[in-house]
Structure 1
Amino acid sequence: MPCRPIRFCIKSLKYAVALLLLVAVYINLNLGNRYRATLDTERDAAPDLRNIPVDLPRFLPNRTNGENDLAATLVTRTIQPNILIYNRVPKCGSSTVRFLIGRLRVRNRFNYKVHNWPNVRQSLTPTEEAELVQQVASLRRPVLFLRHLHYVDFARYNLTAAPVYFNMVRDPVDRFVSHFYFSRYGFKGWDEEKIKKWLWPMSEERRNMTLEDCVGRGVDKCIADNRENMIAFFCGQERGCSARNDWALRKAQRNIERDFALVGILERFEESLKIGEAILPRYFDSAVKVFHNYPEGGKKTKTAGKKEPSKSLRTILENGLKPEMELYNFIKRRLFMQYEILKRSGKLS
């Protein structure tokens, strides 16, 4: 039927056109929001551990190309790994860090799994490594896994999300001296039963040997006899990683660049914690505050019988530990650069 009157038809047509325009605007906005949300989700789903500020030259105006290449491997933004591994290097404040983590896990609500028993194996057979990977992958997340352990390449096992590592180191000479005495006397306050349970078996002659006597028999032999090698904790499980040579050193450096969000140094403990707060808040939020609230945490683990080496003895040990000194200096450069970038970008508390 024809529309009557004409005025009513025109008015109805105007309302219909306006309604169609409103529907079109709503659909366009809704689809746009969904598209933007999809992009945001995709970005969040695949965080880049090696992301650095786009305006890096502003932060590092006087750096060489080599130093800028080094900076490009640093984690300088917040990441939220579901599995964080602390493959603790002995005698680098690891007992203090463990004490701190024990309090942070309650505050920050993450799970915590510790492998800590006398003479825990640091170097694994292929079967032991596969079993360990399976154990870690099955842990309830988010989780921090802690063990004295040479680096394990979890990426080889095609996990849905490979874990992220962190660690702490210290001056290799200080670490060696501390380990030399700890392997003989343990911590202050330990009784004979605890010493017998936790320390390496050795003859009384060897136990009573001074550091000077040990080095006097040959620094390389003294270092080898004390077994611990900091490089292996970053190099890995291959047999060659137990050596102190250039191949093991370079492999350790590559693994640090690829899989370690943070390697702190004991001499800059608080700065290391601040970096942890900035880039790994799920685990390290309020770490500095908790550390200050529990100052006794690090006082219960002082090495018994330790004597500071003379200047000449320290020089001899530095020469004998050259590859570890190079790794330590590499880690120190990375840490200072990581701290500088985070501080200048306003990400440090």
Structure 2
Amino acid sequence: MAVVRTMPGKVQMAAAAAFSLALLYLGSQVQRLEESKSKLERAVALHQVRAIEQRHTLDVAARREPGVQAAVADGASSGGGGGGGMAGTADPDEDTIVLYNRVPKTGSTSFTNIAYDLCARNKYHVLHINTSKNNPVMSLQDQAWPSFNPGRRRGIRTEKKRKVQSVWSTPSLTSYNPTLTVRFVKNVTFWKERKPGFYHGHLAFMDFSKFGAPKKPLYINIVRDPIDRLVSYYYFLRFGDDYRPGLRRRKQGDKKTFDECVLEGGPDCAPERLWLQIPFFCGHSAECWNAGSHWALDQAKLNLVNEYLIVGTTEELEDFILMVEAILPRFFKGATELFRKGKRSHLRRTSEKKQPTADTVWRLQQSGIWKLEQEFYEFAREQFAFVRAHAVRERDGELIPLAQSFFYEKIYPKQA
């Protein structure tokens, strides 16, 4: 310090500046070391997670099919994984079932066509659930996998009996014969040749765990403003749409407008006809189909939140498609671009549809049934808006899916 005091003023200032620069340099070096340490810790954590995931995959493969563990290990060590196979692999994505129990006149055909257009490219299967007379309620025996006695089935030949017994005696359904009675839950759960699979149909919600299924499907759905949906369905039954314009519809020839129907108190436009979205989400309980049931509304809300991966709206269909692409890229990679630019970029439009007057809308809104259906629709919209707000961000008018916002660290015990 004595030396510094004897130095000229300018020299002292230069020395102080040099000392400050040295401190800044050392500080920056320390910061760089800290950043390098953080990156190294993340890399180590990521490596450990991948190792754990690989061990988990091998364990799952070994439990699923003895002898496949070595094949999976060889594929992992060689860097292979291509995802070309559609069945019999250890990848959990290859075992996924998406179930779209579509509500009529909510844009479901437009969305389902996207699934059909993408299935070959993304290597999954699409299957339509065609119920008798489009009845959304399945019988209990059709839902379940009951003990099956082929001898009690009328008119079945001896050779067919043996085939039926062979199917139901196996621990898992590995082949499908459409001439045999194979019930829905077991079929969907164990039909390995059709996994990954996208099932769709006009079907009320069904709880797979009720029947002891080891794994539930991923439910998705779309809802629509209740009055708009009913008006669209009313004209659809009379005039069809631009999807299959030549098909004769059930009410074809009836020229009565929706306004006239409401004014006259006709059955096709009665408030009871609004009662559809709630029972589709409520399920197969008798009370679900009791129009105006508050219990059914509560159950539909619970199922929407607890049993559905995502529920979108017709009015925001593009946002819904973007969301399912972000959530389920195994199925819907490329869906948003296809919807915007491809031949499916427009909704299936009902022909000759006339918008109802304000008086007609007011009359329907006086119904307690409309109030419950509207409450459910608003609940679904609010839930979708919440999910969307936490999954995407807006940039230049476009919704961009957010990148992964978490990683794993401090994983113990450490690997040797």
With the length of structure 2 as denominator, give the TM-score of the two structures.
0.59
CA RMSD of aligned residues (A): 3.3
Match of 2:52 in 1: 37
Match of 1:87 in 2: 101
> For each residue in 1:184-231, what CA deviation from the matched residue of structure 2 results, as whole angstroms up to 9, or x when unmatched?
222247566x21xxx44x596xx3332122212348983356476111
Distance change in 2, residues 1:98/1:225 (3 Å): same
Alignment partners' CA distance in 1, 2:122 and 2:359: 46
> For each residue in 1:262-292, what CA deviation from the matched residue of structure 2 results, as whole angstroms up to 9, or x when unmatched?
1111111111111112211111222101112
Percent sequence identity is 29
Match of 1:340 in 2: 389
How far residue 297 of structure 1 moved from its aligned partner, in angstroms, is: 5.3
Distance change in 2, residues 1:40/1:342 (3 Å): farther
Distance change in 2, residues 1:132/1:227 (3 Å): farther
Distance change in 2, residues 1:325/1:225 (3 Å): closer
How far residue 124 of structure 1 moved from its aligned partner, in angstroms, is: 1.6
Distance change in 2, residues 1:150/1:117 (3 Å): closer
Match of 2:352 in 1: 305
> For each residue in 1:150-192, what CA deviation from the matched residue of structure 2 results, as whole angstroms up to 9, or x when unmatched?
1111111121211110011111111010011112222247566
Distance change in 2, residues 1:315/1:225 (3 Å): closer
Alignment partners' CA distance in 2, 1:191 and 1:272: 27
Distance change in 2, residues 1:319/1:104 (3 Å): farther
Match of 1:125 in 2: 139
Match of 2:172 in 1: none
| Unaligned runs of at least 5 residues, structure 1 | 1-28, 46-78
Alignment partners' CA distance in 1, 2:245 and 2:318: 32
Alignment partners' CA distance in 2, 1:37 and 1:294: 41
Contact 2:189–2:215 (Cα < 8 Å) also in 1: no
Match of 1:115 in 2: 129
Q: 1:287 aligns with which of 320, 335, 340?
A: 335
SS at 1:231 equivalent: helix
Distance change in 2, residues 1:347/1:190 (3 Å): closer
Which protein has greater RCO, CA pairs closer than 8 Å, 6+ apart? 1
How far residue 33 of structure 1 moved from its aligned partner, in angstroms, is: 5.9
1:169 aligns with 2:223: yes
One-letter code aligned to 1:335 = F
Distance change in 2, residues 1:35/1:343 (3 Å): closer
Distance change in 2, residues 1:228/1:181 (3 Å): farther
1:314 aligns with 2:361: yes
Match of 2:281 in 1: 234
Distance change in 2, residues 1:162/1:306 (3 Å): same
One-letter code aligned to 1:312 = D
Structure of greater Rg: 2
Match of 2:302 in 1: 254
One-letter code aligned to 2:56 = T
Match of 2:114 in 1: 100
Contact 2:110–2:344 (Cα < 8 Å) also in 1: no
Alignment partners' CA distance in 1, 2:328 and 2:244: 35
One-letter code aligned to 1:89 = V
Alignment partners' CA distance in 2, 1:169 and 1:218: 26
Count of aligned residue pairs for this structure pair = 277
Distance change in 2, residues 1:343/1:40 (3 Å): farther
| Unaligned runs of at least 5 residues, structure 2 | 1-43, 61-91, 145-182, 395-399, 404-416
How far residue 39 of structure 1 moved from its aligned partner, in angstroms, is: 10
Q: 1:136 aligns with which of 178, 188, 198?
A: 188
One-letter code aligned to 1:338 = V
> For each residue in 1:309-335, what CA deviation from the matched residue of structure 2 results, as whole angstroms up to 9, or x when unmatched?
112222322343111111110010011
Alignment partners' CA distance in 2, 1:35 and 1:274: 28
How far residue 343 of structure 1 moved from its aligned partner, in angstroms, is: 2.1
Alignment partners' CA distance in 2, 1:285 and 1:253: 29
SS at 1:212 equivalent: helix
One-letter code aligned to 2:143 = E
Contact 1:219–1:317 (Cα < 8 Å) also in 2: no
1:146 aligns with 2:194: no
Distance change in 2, residues 1:203/1:286 (3 Å): closer
Contact 1:275–1:348 (Cα < 8 Å) also in 2: no
How far residue 40 of structure 1 moved from its aligned partner, in angstroms, is: 8.1
One-letter code aligned to 1:236 = G
Return 86-95 or 117-126, whichever deviates more. Answer: 117-126
Return 278-287 or 333-342, whichever deviates more. Answer: 278-287
Matching of residues 187-226 of structure 1 within 5 Å: 187-188=241-242, 190=244, 194-195=247-248, 199-200=249-250, 207-218=254-265, 222-223=269-270, 226=273
SS at 2:133 equivalent: coil
One-letter code aligned to 1:286 = G
Alignment partners' CA distance in 1, 2:195 and 2:256: 46
1:157 aligns with 2:211: yes
Alignment partners' CA distance in 1, 2:136 and 2:50: 48
How far residue 120 of structure 1 moved from its aligned partner, in angstroms, is: 2.2
With the length of structure 1 as denominator, give the TM-score of the two structures.
0.70
> For each residue in 1:115-143, what CA deviation from the matched residue of structure 2 results, as whole angstroms up to 9, or x when unmatched?
24783221122112222212222332110
Alignment partners' CA distance in 1, 2:357 and 2:126: 41
